[in-house]
Amino acid sequence: MSWASWSGGALLVAGFAIAAPAQDSAHDLQRVTWEAMSARSGTAVLISIDSGKVLASYKLEVAAHRLATPGSTIKPFTLLALFASGQFDPAQTILCRRSLTIAGKRMDCSHPQPPGPLDATAALAYSCNYYFATAAEHLTGEGLRQTFDRAGLLSPTGMVPEEAAGEFRAPANREQIQLLALGENGIAVTPLELLRAYRGLALRQVQGDRSQEWHVIWQGLRSSAEFGMGHAAQPAEFMVAGKTGTAGSSPTTHGWFVGYAPSDHPEIALVVYLEQGRGADAAAVAGKIFAAYRGARGAR
């Protein structure tokens, strides 16, 4: 079978059925997804928020089985754990010192210089490692594990057969908690698990969640795509909410982008994982896929 073919109104990719509302637009999304990845090692998967079904994919088997540290894409869920701790004030600001070393690992901030101290929303938008490492004093390993588990980061999604399951290693000290909160150590997830977790975030917006914790996370993710580290993922006239992540040790870092669109009324969620690269590279791939969806959406 070629890499893509049609059967009974569904697109088949590498043996998996891809649900689609219309054959032409689904085929275009699939083609653009493959072209955007440009034969890179990694995966990209686009799903419907409403149904959870796959609309387009590149190397779906990699999305189901590759376990990797999530890097900064974990930060919305770290914020959820901070809220759950009952000791966290999202309005309290922290001045980013930019230089950061944890357990001998350099975790310096790479974001642009912010205009001043960061609150939780701005820290998420800028993906400030210094902020999250400092705020991690309110966290426990068990609190993080429970939050990650509830988000679906530690169990198969059921989207494809015989998936891998996320791995979690309990932190033994404060520095390991900090690295866990930054997605750099103690946790490994599949791209599908991360995609499901962000779909869960998008569903909070769909369902009209008006809690303080959701407002902070939603605004941070939207700002990340608007002017923060994920800005390359947002095409013109199509508001995206999402997060980049760069993990591993240079020069063998892997890059992530995961998010959903439109940010106010989510319809789709997307994960891009690059075996080699940075979050900015994954965001650029995501921007092409979001632009293709925007075009197909406008044509319907």
252 has pLDDT over 80: yes
Is residue 8 within a helix (H) or strand (E), and if so which, with residue range?
A: none
Res 24: pLDDT: 66
26: confidence class by pLDDT, cuts 50, 70, 90: confident
Q: Is residue 47 part of a domain?
A: yes
Domain count along the chain: 1
Q: Is residue 34 part of a domain?
A: yes
Distance CA 133, CA 113 (A): 18
Q: Is residue 258 part of a domain?
A: no
Residues 18-38 as b or e (16 or more Cβ within 10 Å = b) = bebeeeebbbbbbebbbebbe
Q: Is residue 111 part of a domain?
A: yes
Q: Which domain holds residue 83?
A: 4-234+279-299
CB atoms under 10 Å from CB of 187, counted, come to 25
pLDDT in tens, 171-217: 999 999 999 999 999 999 999 999 999 999 999 999 999 999 999 99
1 has pLDDT over 80: no
The DSSP secondary structure of 33-46, one letter per residue, reads: HHHHHTT-SEEEEE
Domain of 150: which CATH number? 3.40.710.10
107 has pLDDT over 50: yes
Q: Is residue 267 part of a domain?
A: no
* pTM for this predicted structure: 0.91
Distance of alpha carbon 110 from its chain centroid, rounded?
Answer: 18
Q: Is residue 259 part of a domain?
A: no
Q: Is residue 261 part of a domain?
A: no
Res 6: pLDDT: 29
Q: Is residue 77 part of a domain?
A: yes
Structure tokens at 278: 């940075």
Contacts 24+ apart (CB under 8 A), 133-136: 133/100, 133/102, 133/107, 133/178, 133/181, 133/182, 134/94, 135/82, 135/88, 135/94, 135/181, 136/78, 136/174, 136/177, 136/178, 136/181
Res 197: pLDDT: 98
Mean pLDDT for the chain? Answer: 91
Closest CA to 103 of 176, 204, 16, 159: 176
Closest CA to 202 of 222, 188, 187: 222
pLDDT in tens, 121-172: 999 999 999 999 999 999 999 999 999 999 999 999 999 999 999 999 999 9
3-state SS record for 250-270: CCCCEEEEEEEECCCCCCEEE
251: confidence class by pLDDT, cuts 50, 70, 90: confident
